[in-house]
A and B are shown apart, each in its own frame.
Chain A
Amino acid sequence: AQSVTQLGSHVSVSEGALVLLRCNYSSSVPPYLFWYVQYPNQGLQLLLKYTTGATLVKGINGFEAEFKKSETSFHLTKPSAHMSDAAEYFCAVSHGSSASKIIFGSGTRLSIRP
């Protein structure tokens, strides 16, 4: 069975500081991995996804994530936080035989301090 664990339900960083949101997954087969962002009162928007190939994935809004199989991790980073990055972030996993069925983590709320 697949699962996703997001470490830290709430992360607060200063504007301009590094953003690091942690995600660990569990999957018995090679996973597909996703990061979604949810702004208040809106649906989820795909930030980036890992399928195969290069393990460092670049997404929208300056975010990137690195797939580390040995650590079963897919942490999300951004070098310099902006006030507009304040939102809820969800890590998610699926796999080949049922790749359209995505399992979401519980989310991490990112706050940005001026």
Chain B
Amino acid sequence: EAGVAQSPRYKIIEKRQSVAFWCNPISGHATLYWYQQILGQGPKLLIQFQNNGVVDDSQLPKDRFSAERLKGVDSTLKIQPAKLEDSAVYLCASSLARLAPDTQYFGPGTRLTVL
């Protein structure tokens, strides 16, 4: 089966610019996650969707970050405006259900550099 797809793989922008990332989860996976992985650290959950509803966005900086999962399949994560500290790899993951502890499958990530 096809894995989690993400695009773009790399993005370089200047601070205060906007950027968007796209994720296509594994077919049939109801739960979708966005993580931020700063260099030298483990991934940190930004937002979790169950179908097209938000389950947890407690660590999402809502003043600049937004995410949506229309139709409960693909998802986009947007940063507007970007700051230097947003430089990181943004990982998307999906799992079949929200039940515990279901295996999460990760995409290759988008590496964002903010200059």
Contact = CB atoms under 8 A, between A and B. Distances in A.
Point out which of A4, A9, A46 has the most chain B C-beta atoms below 10 A from its C-beta: A46
Interface in A1-48: 4, 9, 32, 34, 41-46
A94 interface: yes
Interface magnitude class on chain B: 20 to 34
A99 B101 contact: yes
Interface in B68-101: 91, 93, 95, 98-101
At the interface, is chain B mostly helix, strand, loop or mixed? loop
A104 interface: yes
Interface of A: 4, 9, 32, 34, 41-46, 49, 51, 90, 92, 94, 96, 98-102, 104-107
A101 B100 CA distance: 9
Contact of B31 (A4, A90, A100, A106): A100
Nearest 4 CB-CB pairs, A to B? Answer: A99-B100, A104-B42, A43-B106, A32-B101
Contacts of A98: 56, 100
Nearest to A6: B42
B113 to A, nearest CB: 14
A32 B108 CA distance: 24
B103 interface: yes
Point out which of A94, A100, A102 has the most chain B C-beta atoms below 10 A from its C-beta: A100
Interface of B: 4, 31, 40-45, 48, 55-56, 91, 93, 95, 98-109
Contacts of A104: 42-44
A43 B98 contact: no
Given A32-B100, A51-B101, A102 B41 contact: no
Contacts of B99: 99-100
